[in-house]
Amino acid sequence: MYDDFANPWTIRLKWSYLLLVVVALLSPVFYIVYISFNEHGFSARIYEFTFDWYRVVLSDTILVSSLSWTVYLAVTAVAVTIPMALLSAKFYKRSRRKVAFVALMLSPLFVPADIMGSSLLVFFKNLSGAFSWLDSVLGVNWFDGWFDLGFLTALIGQIIYTHPYAFIVILITMSRYRNQQTEAARACGATAWQAFWQVEFPQIRVGVFSSCAFVTILSFNEAVRTALLKGGFDTFSNVLVAQMLNIGMSGESYAMAGIMSIVSITVIGSIIVYTLVRAERLERKARAMAEPVMSI
Amino acid sequence: MRNSSDTAVEVVDLGKNYGTVKALNAVSFTIDSGQYYALLGPSGGGKTTLLRLIGGFIQPTAGQVLLHGEDVSHLPPNKRPTSMVFQSYALFPHMNVERNVAYGLKLRKVPANEMRDKVDWMLSMVGLDGYNERMPHELSGGQQQRVQLARSLVLDADILLLDEPLAALDAKLRKDMCLELKRIQEKVGITFIHVTHNQEEALTVADRIAIIADGDLIEQGTARDIYETPRKRFTAGFIGDNNVLGGIVAGVSGERVTVDLDFAKVDIAAPGTTAAAGDQVSFSVRSELLRMVDPGQTADGAWQSVPATYLETIYLGLTTSHLVRLPDGSEVAARFVSSEDDIGSFETGQAVTIGWPSGRARLHVS
C-alpha cells in the first residue's frame, strides 16, 4: 500500500526492481525455449524457426517412454497425495496440538533429498527381504516383489516428498474457510460429504488445483530420489540430465527442457490468470449490483 | 407443524465434558411447541454447548435429547427436525441469496418451480424481496442474518435454533431484528430456541427464559418472572440492574425474614422460604425501586431503609443513576427515568438514606 504522499519515483523503483527480479529469474528459461525452436541450435549465427527438435524428442522411444513413465508417476502422485494432503489439512484444523501436527507434516522437508532417497532405498530393500522371509516361513509367494524397486517405491518416495507442499498450499486456502458453513449445510440437511463437496470444496478448490499443479511439477523436477527408488536412471529428468552430461546440450535437450518449461509455466500461469480474472469478475459484478448513491 | 400443547424439546440430565472440563452439568428442562425460548447467560456458561447438543452438532457425554418425544441423542444434525441460524459467517459465499436459501430444498429434491416459489415467499417474509441474485458479500450484516433466517425457515423444520444471531449487529439493528424475529416466530408458529448473552434481547423476544451459567441451568421462567422475581442470587445479579446485598438472618416471623446487614436490619417478604436464623443469605432490590431521601426523613412502615453516603450521579440518557456507598463499603445504584428525576441535588460525601418499598426486595438463599 502506498500513501498519497509517497514519492512516485519510489513506487516506480519498487516496480522496476520487481520486474528485474522476474526477468532475471525467467529469462534463462525463455532463452532455452527460444533456442529450442532454432533449427541450428545454441550459439548459431542464424535463427530459423522449427519444430524439428520437438519432433525428434517425441519420436525418440527412450525419451517418450521416460516421459510417459514420469507423467504416469505424476498423475498417480497427484491422485494419492492431494486427497491425503486434504485430509491432513482437515485434521490440522480440528487438531488441538497444531504446532506438533505441522512439525510432523513438514518433517520430510527437513531431510535432504539424497538422504531421504537412500534411507527409503534401504528401508524398501529390508522390507522386501522381510516379506520374502515371511513368504518362505508361510510357504507361499503372496508378498513376492511387493517392495522391489519400481513404480510403487518411487511413488511412495514421491508422495513423502510432495505431501508437505500440497498440505501447506491447501491449508493456506482452507484457513479462510469457516467451519460454521459446514455446520450450516448440515443443519440444512446435507450429509458430511455433501457439505464438503458442495460448500467447502468450491471455496478451497484454488488451493487444491494449485497443489495438483505443484505435485505434477515436482514429479517432473525430482531426479535423484526418484532414480534411487525406481531402480534406474530413466525418468524424464534423469534422461535429460544424462544427455547433457554425455553429449552436451543438443537441440533435443533444449526441446526437452522447453517441454518441461512450457508445461510448468502454462499450468502455473493459468492458475494465476484464472484467479486474477475471477477476482476481477467478482469485483465487477459487485460494482454493477451496488446501489447508486444519489446526490440530494 | 405440531399441536402447540406438544413438548417440542425435552432435555434429560444432559451433560457434556471436554476432556476434564465440564461444559454442561446434567441439565434438564422442557420446551413447549411454538414457544420462543431463550437461553441466556454469560459467555462460556454452556448455553451454546447446550444448543449444539440439541442441534446434534456435538454428542452428549451423558443424558438425552428428545425432540417431540423421540430420543435423537445419537442422530446427526441432518437427521433431526431442527434448523440453525449461526452468529455470522455462515452464508455460503460462493452462492447467491437464492441458492443459499434454496440449498436445503435442493437437497430434498424439491421441484424447481415449487422451490422458486418457496424461496421468493421466504425472502419476502424476511423483507428481502428482489435480493435473489445478490452475493453474500454484497449484503449488510443484518441482511445476511435475514438470509440465514430465510434459509432455515424455508425448510419447515419444527425447531429453529439461533446461536447469538444478533451478536454481530450494531445496537440499532439488533433492536430492530429482535422485534422482527419475534414477529416472524409468531407468524410461522414453530419453536425458536435463541442463545444470547444480551438480557435485553432475551427479554424482548422470549416467552420463557432459561439462565445458564457455569454449565448449570440456574433458573427458568417467563421474562417477567425472571426480571421481577428472580429466585437465585446469580439471576438477580445478572438480569436487570439489581443491587445485591448480603447479611445474616436475624429472625424469621411467618413469611417475613429479618436480615442483619451489620449496619442495619431490614425485613424481607419471603413466602415459603427455607431460611432459618443464623443463615447467610442475600437479597436483591432493583435499582429503579430504590429511593433516596435526607437522613432526617424517616421512612414509614411501607418502606425499608438503610443509611448511605452519596457518591455521584451518572446520566445515561433515558435514565440517571445515583451511586451511594453503604457503611460496609458496598456500592448501590438508584436509577430514575431522567425526565422524572426530581430527587434534588446531593453533594459527594453527603449522608443520605436509601429505601425501597417493603415487599419488593427478593430473598436469595442460594
The answer, for A180 touching chain B at a CB cutoff of 8 Å, is yes
Q: How far is CA B133 from the centre of its chain?
A: 36
* Domain of A64, in residue numbers: 59-267
The answer, for A190 touching chain B at a CB cutoff of 8 Å, is yes
Q: Name the closest residue on chain A to residue B139, using Cα atoms.
A: A290
Cβ neighbours around B98 below 10 Å, total: 18
Q: Is pLDDT at A168 greater than 90 in this prediction?
A: yes
Q: Is pLDDT at A295 greater than 60 in this prediction?
A: no
Query: Strand pairing of B36-40 and B208-213?
Result: parallel
Comparison of pLDDT for A143 and B200, the residue scoring more: B200
For residue A286, being part of any structural domain is answered with no
The three cell numbers of residue A279 are 477476482
> Once rounded to an integer, what is the mean pLDDT over residues B170-190?
87
For residue A296, being part of any structural domain is answered with no
State whether A12 and A84 are in the same domain: no
What distance in Å separates residue B199's CA from the closest CA in chain A?
Answer: 25
State whether A39 and A150 are in the same domain: no
The pLDDT value given to residue A117: 87
Q: Which residues of A touch B20 (CB under 8 A)?
A: none
Quick check: A188 and B55 CB within 8 A?
Answer: no
State whether A119 and A45 are in the same domain: no
State whether A254 and A129 are in the same domain: yes
- Write the single-letter amino acid at B97: V
Quick check: A181 and B92 CB within 8 A?
Answer: yes
Predicted confidence band of residue B3 (pLDDT cuts 50, 70, 90): very low
Q: Which of A187-196, B4-13, B86-95, B154-163 comes out lowest in average pLDDT?
A: B4-13
- Mutate which of B80, B84, B96 to test chain A, going by most A C-beta atoms within 10 A? B84
The model's pTM = 0.77
- Mutate which of B18, B51, B59, B78 to test chain A, going by most A C-beta atoms within 10 A? B78
Nearest-angstrom CA–CA distance, A86 and A172: 11
The answer, for A289 touching chain B at a CB cutoff of 8 Å, is yes
DSSP characters over chain A:
---TTS-HHHHHHHHHHHHHHHHHHHHHHHHHHHHHTBTT-TT-S---B-SHHHHHHHH-HHHHHHHHHHHHHHHHHHHHHHHHHHHHHHHHHH-S-HHHHHHHHHGGGGS-HHHHHHHHHHHHHHHHHHHHHHHHHHT--TTTTTTSSSHHHHHHHHHHHHHHHHHHHHHHHHTT--HHHHHHHHHTT--HHHIIIIIIHHHHHHHHHHHHHHHHHHHHH--HHHHHHHTSS-SHHHHHHHHHHHH-S-HHHHHHHHHHHHHHHHHHHHHHHHHHHHHHHHHHHHHHHSPP----
**Positive or negative torsion for Cα A135, A140, A142, A144:** positive
For residue A184, being part of any structural domain is answered with yes
State whether A13 and A153 are in the same domain: no
Nearest-angstrom CA–CA distance, A268 and A213: 7
The three cell numbers of residue B348 are 459527594
Domain count, chain A: 2
> Once rounded to an integer, what is the mean pLDDT over residues B7-23?
92
Q: How far is CA B100 from CA A282, B117, B300, in A?
A: 17, 14, 64
**Is B14 in contact with B71 (CB distance < 8 Å)?**
no
For residue A256, being part of any structural domain is answered with yes
Q: Whose grid coordinates read 431460611?
A: B275
Sheet of strand B208-213, all strands in order from the earlier edge strand to the far edge: B82-85, B159-163, B191-196, B36-40, B208-213, B216-222
For residue A274, being part of any structural domain is answered with no
The answer, for B152 touching chain A at a CB cutoff of 8 Å, is yes
Structural domains present in chain B: 7-228 (3.40.50.300), 241-364 (2.40.50.140)
* Three-point CA angle A262, A268, A271, nearest 5°: 135
Predicted confidence band of residue A290 (pLDDT cuts 50, 70, 90): low
Calculate the dihedral angle through the C-alpha atoms of A255, A257, A261, A262, rounding to the nearest 10 degrees.
10
What residues does B352 pair with on adjacent strands? B308
State whether A210 and A162 are in the same domain: yes
Q: Which CATH number does the domain housing residue A219 bear?
A: 1.10.3720.10
State whether A14 and A111 are in the same domain: no
Q: Is pLDDT at B5 greater than 90 in this prediction?
A: no
Name the residue facing B90 among A181, A191, A290 (closest C-beta): A181
**Is A255 in contact with A57 (CB distance < 8 Å)?**
yes
Q: Is pLDDT at A23 greater than 50 in this prediction?
A: yes
pLDDT digits (tens, 9 = 90+) for B122-167: 999 888 888 999 999 889 888 898 899 999 999 989 999 999 988 8
The answer, for B104 touching chain A at a CB cutoff of 8 Å, is yes
Q: Name the closest residue on chain B to residue A189, using Cα atoms.
A: B78
* End-to-end CA gap in chain A: 33
Burial string for B161-191 (b: 16+ CB within 10 Å, else e) reads bbbbbbebbeeebbeebbebbbebbeeeebb
For residue A281, being part of any structural domain is answered with no
**Is A210 in contact with A272 (CB distance < 8 Å)?**
no
DSSP characters over B127-142:
T-TT-TT--GGGS-HH
Q: Nearest-CA neighbor of A291 among B93, B123, B143, B125?
A: B143
Mean pLDDT of chain B: 88
Nearest-angstrom CA–CA distance, A101 and A89: 10
Quick check: A178 and B78 CB within 8 A?
Answer: no
State whether A67 and A114 are in the same domain: yes
Q: Nearest-CA neighbor of B323 among B297, B352, B298?
A: B352
Nearest-angstrom CA–CA distance, B25 and B266: 36
State whether A109 and A39 are in the same domain: no
State whether A73 and A38 are in the same domain: no
Predicted confidence band of residue B294 (pLDDT cuts 50, 70, 90): low
State whether A34 and A150 are in the same domain: no
Q: Nearest-CA neighbor of B162 among A37, A66, A187?
A: A187
Nearest-angstrom CA–CA distance, B101 and B119: 6
For residue A288, being part of any structural domain is answered with no
List Cβ neighbours of A13 (8 Å cut-off, separation of 6 or more): none
pLDDT digits (tens, 9 = 90+) for B203-227: 999 999 999 999 999 999 999 999 8
For residue A277, being part of any structural domain is answered with no
List Cβ neighbours of B268 (8 Å cut-off, separation of 6 or more): B256, B257, B258, B259, B283, B304, B361, B362, B363
Q: Is B213 left (phi over 0), alpha (psi -120 to 50) or beta?
A: beta
- Write the single-letter amino acid at B208: R
State whether A38 and A83 are in the same domain: no
Q: Name the closest residue on chain A to residue B138, using Cα atoms.
A: A286
Q: How far is CA B91 from CA A171, B143, B350, in A?
A: 21, 11, 57
The answer, for A75 touching chain B at a CB cutoff of 8 Å, is no
pLDDT digits (tens, 9 = 90+) for B258-284: 888 888 888 888 887 787 888 889 999
The pLDDT value given to residue B50: 95
* End-to-end CA gap in chain B: 40
Q: How far is CA A184 from CA A90, B31, B62, B335, in A?
A: 17, 23, 25, 43
Q: Which residues of B touch A178 (CB under 8 A)?
A: 89-90
The pLDDT value given to residue B159: 93
